Amino acid sequence: MRLPIHKEGWPFIALAAVANGAIFALWGQIGWIFLPLSLWVVAFFRDPERHPPPGDHLILSPADGKLLPVTRAAPPAELGLGAGPRIRLSIFMNVFNVHVNRNPATGTITALAYRPGKFFNAAFDKASEDNERLSQGVRLEGSGGAGQELIVVQIAGLIARRIKSNLHKGQTVCRGERFGIIRFGSRLDVYLPDGARVVAQPGQTTRAGETILAELPG
């Protein structure tokens, strides 16, 4: 059975395999103690296929993880979209979740902004304000919410030290497509446009590109 691996993971998998092999060569049976760590590195970078549900009025989860309590908050200031509060959905990814991120909706990337910051536990609300992050604005297309702005923010966590995105300004993205990855353990925030109705429940386990977070009018 084939286990798809994200391309960002191969250097880490190779390093873990070489290190584990060296431990076996030098200390024999002790290598078995470190084998689960090597297998975890492989599992961390797994990249399974996903199948978005039909309906371009649906906002999908951009990440695997746990949906935290729904709040209202101003979007990241570096995007220049004003300080008006919006519904914010936050997904916490632990070190055992799939960490490949997927576009929650179809649209055009209107803004990308990186901001350095701290590395608090990504399960805490203050991580949205203080942690290192990469924010994107997406002008929606399709029958629901066309022309409105959706905001997606990749946020580093306590262990995470690397945010990777393949997006660029002006790019057209499709719902469910891969757009990046965060290593290791982190958080994604989604700021909904006006009129969106949240359908997911806090505490719910989400799957990137498949779980419906919200519905747009129309």
Tens of pLDDT along 169-206? 999 999 999 999 887 668 899 999 988 999 999 999 99
Residue 17, token pair as written in the block: 């395999």
Can you say whether the dihedral through the CA atoms of 140, 146, 151, 154 is positive or negative? negative
**In 10 A of CB 140, how many CB atoms?**
22
The distance of Cα 43 from the centroid of its chain, to the nearest Å, equals: 16
What's the confidence (pLDDT) of residue 147?
Answer: 82
Band (106; pLDDT cuts 50, 70, 90): very high
**Residues facing 188 on adjacent strands:** 91, 154
Give the residue from 33, 189, 167, 187 showing the smallest Cα distance to 118. Answer: 187
What's the confidence (pLDDT) of residue 188?
Answer: 93
| In the chain, % of residues over pLDDT 70 | 93
What's the confidence (pLDDT) of residue 28?
Answer: 87
What's the confidence (pLDDT) of residue 69?
Answer: 94
> What average pLDDT does range 18-36 have in this prediction?
90
186 tagged catalytic: yes
Q: What is the mean pLDDT of the chain?
A: 88
Q: Name the active-site residue from 38, 90, 128, 186.
A: 186
| Domain at 58-215, CATH from 2.70.70, 2.30.30, 1.10.3470, 3.80.10 | 2.70.70
What's the confidence (pLDDT) of residue 185?
Answer: 64
